[in-house]
Amino acid sequence: MEARYDIAIVGAGITGCAIARQLARYDKTICLIEAADDIALGASKANGGLVHAGYDPAPGTTKARMNARGCELYGRWSEELGFLFHRTGSLVLGFTDEDLATLEHLRDNGLANGVPHLEIVGPDRIAELEPRANPDATCALWCPSTGYVDPFEVAIAAAENAVANGAAFMRGAPVTAIDRPKEGGFVLSTPKGDVRCEILINAAGSGAGEISRMAGDRGLRMVWRQGNIAVLDKEPRAITPLYPVPTPVSKGVIVTGTVHNNTVITATAEMREQGDKDTYAGDVEALLSGARKLVPDLDTRRVVRTFAGGRAVLEKTNDFLIEASDSTPGLFHAAGIQSPGVASAPAVAERMEQLLSEAGIELVERADWNPIRRMPDDFDLAPLERKEELIETDPAWGRIVCRCETVPEAEIVAAIHRKPGAISVEGVKRRCRAGMGRCQSGFCQSRVVEILARELGVAPSEVPLEDTGSWIVDGPLKNPDAHTGAIAEEDC
Ligand SMILES: Cc1cc2nc3c(=O)[nH]c(=O)nc-3n(C[C@H](O)[C@H](O)[C@H](O)COP(=O)(O)OP(=O)(O)OC[C@H]3O[C@@H](n4cnc5c(N)ncnc54)[C@H](O)[C@@H]3O)c2cc1C
């Protein structure tokens, strides 16, 4: 079986999803192909979620342009795509004269990259901007355009908008071979069937080297700059992002709030074996001690989760590669999007659109293109009147399944039926936060399994934690009807 599309995008991380969304406005058929069983399971789920402003990358690099422009576009993208984005500003804290010199250098970098309103500030202003910042800091770079998002929410929102505008999404479909037939274009082999396309966009993260090689282009060599991250319980007020003075390869250990008021400590940077997602005691200790230097009163015992991800870095360059292949017509790369790929995603998508135009591909806007994706109802954040309205329409809005994050049954059901919807426990978590809280799903996981089984019409033993094979249930449940019936009233 062979499906035909004008454009195939390989990789449904934040880069591929943003590109799909950008191109879905045009009169082209698009398929977004993902090896994993859901959106944003690569680097896009395991990062700090910071929309860095763009004062860090060296002026003139692709990364610098993408970062500054991406940060600028986030306001519009969050309004159109209905995801939470808080533009809080950030402080890079300095403690010595040497640090001050580095901050001045960063400010000049930022100005060259087009980052607005950068300012060096002193201790009084630091205390005003973030009262919990280390009072020993003598100077800081204040950057008002920095913000943060839930990165997987951005990818999911972009993919949903692309699909609403006609794009297809193939999950569980690793591209294992690429043929270039004589008549032109590409035929991609996947376990879900072949995909024929005229234009192939390589947004495969750490798999980008392999896609390039299979498509007949130069072998891009990828290395894995791994990072550990710690998430702390919620604070009454989210901490304004605080950065240390950066090192040549990393922004260092940053403390930031999140859109849901957690605190995140992000991230270490170590060259490790491709695919290594382990957390390391030494890394976690480096995170906690780094965080205490920025926020001395941070209670680091309140860690609810540690995890790791890998930045897909192109060997021998610290830059992104966003270009048309010069040896394989029709192939375009968005590769080496190591960091800051979250901050840059809207700009990478815009640049890809330009590259297609420059290559002579006619992009005609569809009359029915709709840039808007409505933000799904978030019961926890909804005002009281909206909560009442929702419960009135369906009592399942009043049945709280995840108590840490106040997620009711109806919100989980909605997450499963979105397009593309959740098909795993973690997929539900990324879409509506059930299991994201302090107890890390100890309380609600079995209920989420039941709801998934019921809504998808499968047995609980067929509901995975994440990808196929990560089964949770290995036998009959106490309530044998759980996967077909509603949750028992007495449980609610
Ligand atoms: C610890 C850490 C902290 C970070 N913090 C930040 C931050 O705060 N702010 C920021 O801007 N950036 C941050 N980053 C960087 C950011 O996470 C990445 O730049 C971004 O997620 C890259 O997105 P992507 O879509 O290019 O890659 P990915 O998210 O990795 O997506 C690539 C996708 O391609 C799929 N794929 C691969 N091969 C194939 C194949 N053969 N067939 C089909 N599909 C395939 C993969 O399954 C994957 O889903 C951080 C990264 C790390 C690791």
pLDDT in tens, 250-273: 789 999 999 999 999 999 999 999
For residue 281, count CB atoms less than 10 angstroms from its CB and return exposed for 0-12, middle for 13-18, buried for 19 or more: exposed
At 169-180, the pLDDT tens digits run: 999 999 999 999
Q: What is the pLDDT, as a whole number, of residue 250?
A: 79
Distances in whole angstroms, Cα of residue 249 to Cα of each of 21, 165, 173, 225, 492? 31, 39, 33, 10, 50
Shared domain check, 200 and 131 = no
Euclidean distance between CA atoms 83 and 255, whole angstroms = 22
Shared domain check, 181 and 111 = no
Shared domain check, 212 and 185 = yes
Query: Which range of residues forms the domain containing residue 270?
Result: 85-147+223-311
Euclidean distance between CA atoms 56 and 241, whole angstroms = 15
**What spacing in Å lies between the alpha carbon of 490 and ligand 1's midpoint?**
43
Shared domain check, 397 and 270 = no
| Cis ω before 422 (30° cut-off from 0) | no
**What spacing in Å lies between the alpha carbon of 335 and ligand 1's midpoint?**
10
Euclidean distance between CA atoms 123 and 134, whole angstroms = 9
Q: Which of 311, 336, 355 is the last residue of a domain?
A: 311
CB-side neighbour CA atoms (13 Å) of 221? 3
Q: What is the pLDDT, as a whole number, of residue 477?
A: 67
242 within ligand 1 shell (Cβ under 6 A): no
Shared domain check, 178 and 270 = no
**What spacing in Å lies between the alpha carbon of 149 and ligand 1's midpoint?**
15
Which of 66, 214, 266, 311 has most ligand 1 atoms within 8 Å of its beta carbon, as the pocket-test mutant?
Answer: 311
Please identify, by atom number, the ligand 1 atom nearest to the C-alpha of residue 308.
Answer: 1
Shared domain check, 18 and 126 = no
Euclidean distance between CA atoms 421 and 171, whole angstroms = 11
339 within ligand 1 shell (Cβ under 6 A): yes
- Bridge partners, 365 (sequence order): 26
**What spacing in Å lies between the alpha carbon of 96 and ligand 1's midpoint?**
35
Distances in whole angstroms, Cα of residue 59 to Cα of each of 54, 63, 65, 107, 110? 9, 9, 8, 12, 8
- Bridge partners, 2 (sequence order): 194
Euclidean distance between CA atoms 492 and 487, whole angstroms = 7
CB-side neighbour CA atoms (13 Å) of 79? 5
In terms of Cα–Cα distance, which of 172, 173, 198 is closest to 187? 198
Shared domain check, 477 and 389 = yes
**What spacing in Å lies between the alpha carbon of 420 and ligand 1's midpoint?**
19
Q: Which of 311, 340, 355 is the last residue of a domain?
A: 311
31 within ligand 1 shell (Cβ under 6 A): no
87 phi and psi, to 5 degrees? -90, 90
Q: What is the pLDDT, as a whole number, of residue 481?
A: 55
How many separate domains does the chain show? 3
- Average pLDDT of the segment spanning 424-437: 97
Strand ranges (E), 39-189:
50-51, 85-86, 90-94, 119-121, 139-143, 147-149, 168-170, 177-179, 186-189
16 within ligand 1 shell (Cβ under 6 A): yes
Q: What is the pLDDT, as a whole number, of residue 219?
A: 82
435 within ligand 1 shell (Cβ under 6 A): no
113 within ligand 1 shell (Cβ under 6 A): no
276 phi and psi, to 5 degrees? -70, 115
CATH code of the domain containing 165: 3.50.50.60
**Residue 488 clears pLDDT 80, i.e. is over it:** no
Q: What is the pLDDT, as a whole number, of residue 248?
A: 72
Active site residues: 52
- Per the prediction, the chain carries an average pLDDT of 95
**What spacing in Å lies between the alpha carbon of 311 and ligand 1's midpoint?**
7
Please identify, by atom number, the ligand 1 atom nearest to the C-alpha of residue 176.
Answer: 41
343 within ligand 1 shell (Cβ under 6 A): yes
337 within ligand 1 shell (Cβ under 6 A): yes
Q: Which of 271, 288, 311 is the last residue of a domain?
A: 311
Q: What string of DSSP letters covers 222-261?
A: EEEEEEEEEEE---SSPPPPEEPPPPSS----EEEE-TTS
Distances in whole angstroms, Cα of residue 47 to Cα of each of 264, 287, 470? 10, 14, 22
At position 206, the amino acid (one-letter code) is S
Shared domain check, 252 and 324 = no
Shared domain check, 439 and 322 = no
How many angstroms separate the most distant Cα atoms in the chain? Answer: 68
- Bridge partners, 33 (sequence order): 10, 170
CATH code of the domain containing 113: 3.30.9.10
Shared domain check, 459 and 474 = yes
Please identify, by atom number, the ligand 1 atom nearest to the C-alpha of residue 44.
Answer: 21
Please identify, by atom number, the ligand 1 atom nearest to the C-alpha of residue 227.
Answer: 1
Shared domain check, 345 and 236 = no
pLDDT-derived band at 492, boundaries 50, 70, 90: very low
Shared domain check, 180 and 34 = yes
